Amino acid sequence: MIREALVVSAILFSIGVLGVLTRRNALILFMCVELMLNAVNLSFIALSRLHGVSGQVFVLFVMTVAAAEAAIGLAIVISVFRHYRTVDLGRIRLLRG
């Protein structure tokens, strides 16, 4: 069972990474990040079978932090949209050296 759960977790994580790498829309990127977080949560739950409940406790923390992060992240995305009239990350290149 653990092997299958870990494989699903790895696939989910890879989809998230690919999404972050290939998409430029900030909202989709955001969802991809959530996907990666939940892939990690899945592997925590699966591995708690071997290592005790601390993995499950960690998942609760991750979900809490993810909620906070989603709130702040969405707020940033909104203010970026107000400023640039777009959420396309390809257009926001202020950090260019």
Partner 1 sequence: MPTSSSATQFIWLVPLLPFLGFLANGLLSLVPAWRGERADVTPAGRRALVGAVGVGVMLVAFGLSVMLTLAVSGKDTTLTSSLGTWMAAGPFSVEWLLRVDRLSALMMLVITGVGTLIHIYSIGYMADDAGFARYFAYLNLFVGFMLMLVMGGNLPVLFIGWEGVGLASYLLIGFWFGETANAVAGKKAFVVNRIGDFGLLIAMFVLFANLGTLDFAQIATLHANLGAPPATLICLFIFLGCAGKSAQLPLYVWLPDAMAGPTPVSALIHAATMVTAGIYLIVRNAALFASSPIACLVIVLVGALTAVWAGAVALKQWDIKKVLAYSTVSQLGYMFMAVGAGAYTAGMFHLVTHAFFKALLFLGAGAVIHAMHHALHAAHQDDDPQDLRNMGGLMARMPVTGALMWIATLAITGIPPFAGFFSKDAILSSVAERAMESPLAEASVGGIPGRLILWFAYGIGLVTAFITAIYMTRLMRYAFHGSFRGGEDAAGHVHDSPWVLRAPLVVLGVLTIVGGWLQLPAALPIGRAGLLDSWLAPLTGAATAELAGTGHLPHSTEYLLIGIAVAVAVAGIAMAFVQLKPATLVRKVDSPADTGIGLVLANDYYVDTAIARGIVGPTVAASRKVFWRGLDLGLINGVLVQGSAQLFGVVSSVASRVQVGFAGSYVWAIVLGAVVVFGAFIVTGAQ
* Nearest distance in Å: CB 96, partner 1: 3
* Nearest distance in Å: CB 15, partner 1: 13
Q: Which residues bind partner 1 (CB under 8 A)?
A: 17, 20-21, 24, 89-90, 92-97
Q: How far apart are CA 25 and CA 64, in angstroms?
A: 24
Query: End-to-end alpha-carbon separation of the chain, Å?
Result: 49
Other C-beta atoms closer than 10 Å to the C-beta of 37 total 20
Q: How far apart are CA 41 and CA 47, in angstroms?
A: 10
* Nearest distance in Å: CB 97, partner 1: 3
Question: What is the rounded radius of gyration, in angstroms, for the C-alpha atoms of the chain?
Answer: 16
